[in-house]
Amino acid sequence: MIAIWETSNFQLPGGYYVKPFPTVHRVTSQGYIVYRNHRKLKPEYTGLPGQEIGKLARDGVQIYNYVDSPEIAYTGIVKGNISQFISFHFHCSIIMK
């Protein structure tokens, strides 16, 4: 077991990390969201031929943005309908209670 405070992240292999968030329960509690950090081609390079994108990358041009996307949320037993909150605010498609 590893303690993760509300203000910290815990790195996982493969570009994933866990970030805690406060939940409403009869005692102090928190849920967790697993995020994936991945690269995404910048919009200005979308549609270019692969060879041209490769040349830009070899020339040192930053062709990617790095994006964090929520993958899985765990809330535990909480008061209220936190599933709708997580789905709306974090755009997380898998929510475990």
pLDDT single digits (tens) 20-73 = 887 777 777 788 888 999 999 999 999 999 999 999 999 999 999 999 988 888
Q: Please, are residues 31 and 80 in contact by the beta-carbon 8 Å criterion? A: no
Q: Please, are residues 35 and 74 in contact by the beta-carbon 8 Å criterion? A: no
Q: Where are the domains of the chain?
A: 10-96
Which percentage of the chain shows pLDDT scores above 90?
A: 37
What pLDDT is stored for residue 83 in this prediction? Answer: 57
What pLDDT is stored for residue 63 in this prediction? Answer: 96
Residue 51: both structure tokens together? 């060879």
What pLDDT is stored for residue 75 in this prediction? Answer: 75
- Those residues with Cβ within 8 angstroms of residue 77's Cβ, 6 or more apart along the chain or in another chain: 25, 97
